[in-house]
Copies of this chain bind each other. A is one copy, B any other.
Amino acid sequence: MKNSLSQRTINRLTQYHTILRDYSKKGIENITSALISQYLKIDETQVRKDLKSINCKGKCKVGYVVSELKEIIEDVLDYKITKRAYVIGAGNLGTALSKYSKFDEFGLKIEALFDTDIKKIGQNIDNKPIYDLKDISQIIKKTGVNIAILTLPNKVAQSVTDELVIAGIKYIWNFAPTILTVPDGIKVWNENLIGSFLQFCAIEDIK
């Protein structure tokens, strides 16, 4: 199912999920598409269209059942399929991502961090061990983890990427603002924070 959804729909569904989780924690049972659209400042027809596309139908005036809708979104987005990953670079960003609560809810399980700093190696972040980067190849052989979240400075991002590829990493979520060169078959997703901010500026005409 997930593969038939557009990227933008997937993105919006996770945002609906954030609202649903908040509502669920507060014990609120129902939510309307109007309310979702107000929170996210998007068109209500868009919300209804998205929810219809995952076979979720609201009731007139009552809206959607929070727990049901939350579960359907989680199912559609494969949250039960655990996606095991390593964070490469136990700096501020790597640490922040390792603690990011929303990842677990969608099955992204950060199992460990890797660094070259001997002061960091052997420590833990949120019960996730920090290993020596030079051991990654050996560790991957045992664990089979093939997703790396790269949070390194630009100047070492490419050389470490080369090591990761040799070690068996297949998917790289790259937070370094540089473009990585990888062999065919290795997939890179460039996280683009400034692009995201500039979209905000364009929409809201921030000057």
Contacts and interface: CB of A to CB of B under 8 A. Distances in A.
Nearest to A181: B39
Interface residues of A, number: 64
Contact of A83 (B97, B108, B201): B201
B179 A18 contact: yes
| Copies of this chain per assembly | 2
A204 interface: yes
Contacts of A102: 177, 193-194
Nearest to A85: B197
Interface in A179-207: 179, 181, 187-207
A33 B99 CA distance: 39
A205 B96 CA distance: 26
Given A91-B96, A205-B3, A22 B179 contact: yes
A41 to B, nearest CB: 7
Interface string A124-160: 0000000000000000000000010001001000000
B147 A195 contact: no
B81 A207 contact: yes
A27 to B, nearest CB: 16
A199 B83 contact: no
A205 B204 CA distance: 34
A128 to B, nearest CB: 13
A165 interface: no
Nearest to A99: B92
Contacts of A22: 178-179
A185 to B, nearest CB: 11
A70 to B, nearest CB: 13
Contacts of A151: 96
A19 B179 contact: yes
Interface stretch (A8-16, A50-58, A60-68, A112-120): A8-16
7 contacts: A3-B205, A15-B190, A40-B179, A83-B206, A100-B177, A171-B204, A191-B193
